[in-house]
Amino acid sequence: MPQAPVYNQPQTIPGSEGRHNESCHSGVMWGAIIGGALATAVIVVLLFSLASALGFAAVSPWGNTPPAIGKSFAISGALALIVIQWVSAGFGGYLTGRLRTQYVGAHTHEVFFRDTVHGFLSWALATVLGALLLTSAVLHMHNPQSGFGKRDYAHTPAMHFVDRLFATPKHDAVLSDQDRAEATNALDMAAVNGSLSPEDKNELVQLVAARTDLSVPDSEHRVEEVLTQEKTAIDGMRKYAAAASLFLFFSMMIGAFIASVAGALGGQHRDLHYTTGRLTE
């Protein structure tokens, strides 16, 4: 009766007969992973700078008019993020596979698996480093001692709606910082809660009537109109944010796959180079 073929047999290395080929060290080589992750991060910075120069990554969610909120995240910007993710992941994963030390006595299936994992780990490390840098930058901007955390009510996302509240046909309303702060806080509260309480709404109406030539009923109508515009703008911004998150999710998933495949390809080229002294098909 013929015997079934046996797979996953380790390769026999000349001169290694009778010796134990199992390594006592971890199969993860962090030097190659860190090098690939740094290469991935550098490629991201370079490509993002190029995309910004070409206008693909110039995203400004707060335009001069409410419809511009969120719409500035164009399809071209999303495609630029996808291309940046894929190219950087492929380059870093391939570099990781080429830099990883060749395993002696390991089966080709095991070598392929480890090269794939190393490519994935280089992408994962680069992603974690990017997330930490982004979080640090956001925390620094919101730190009051850094100067970025001080809120300028004349240059906030609600500035357009505040100007609409106090717009008059004859002259511009003279607003103090306190008036602008009260109006901005009321609009922010409406954005968070979905509506204003009767007390807060009445205070905003009285403020608009006191700073403009409008009557109280006209001021109430103005407040209702602006609140409706703000709600529509926020709903649109949320839709575009959801679309951006979906683009980012798929680009990162495919980026992880590309990094893994590139790591395996780099490992294959590494082994061919060591075996034949040149790269072959």
Predicted pLDDT of residue 259: 95
Predicted pLDDT of residue 111: 86
SS (H, E, C) the chain: CCCCCCCCCCCCCCCCCCCCCCCCCCCCCHHHHHHHHHHHHHHHHHHHHHHHHHCCCCCCCCCCCHHHCCCCCCHHHHHHHHHHHHHHHHHHHHHHHHHCCCCCCCCHHHHHHHHHHHHHHHHHHHHHHHHHHHHHHHHHHCCHHHCCCCCCCCCCCCHHHHHHHCCCCCCCCCCCHHHHHHHHHHHHHHHHHCCCCHHHHHHHHHHHHHHCCCCHHHHHHHHHHHHHHHHHHHHHHHHHHHHHHHHHHHHHHHHHHHHHHHHHHHHHHHHHHHHHCCCCC
From CA 241, how far away is CA 238, in angstroms rounded? 5
Predicted pLDDT of residue 228: 84
Segments in the chain below pLDDT 70: 1-26, 56-75, 103-105, 138, 140-158, 169-175, 273-281
Predicted pLDDT of residue 145: 55
Predicted pLDDT of residue 69: 39
Predicted pLDDT of residue 15: 47
Produce one character per residue of 255-280: b if its CB has 16 or more CB atoms within 10 Å, e if not. Answer: bbbbbbbbbbbbbbebbeeeeeeeee
- What burial class does residue 231 get, using C-beta atoms within 10 Å of its C-beta: 0-12 exposed, 13-18 middle, 19+ buried? middle
Predicted pLDDT of residue 153: 46
Kindly report the pTM of this predicted structure: 0.64
Predicted pLDDT of residue 225: 86
CB 274 within 8 A of CB 109: no
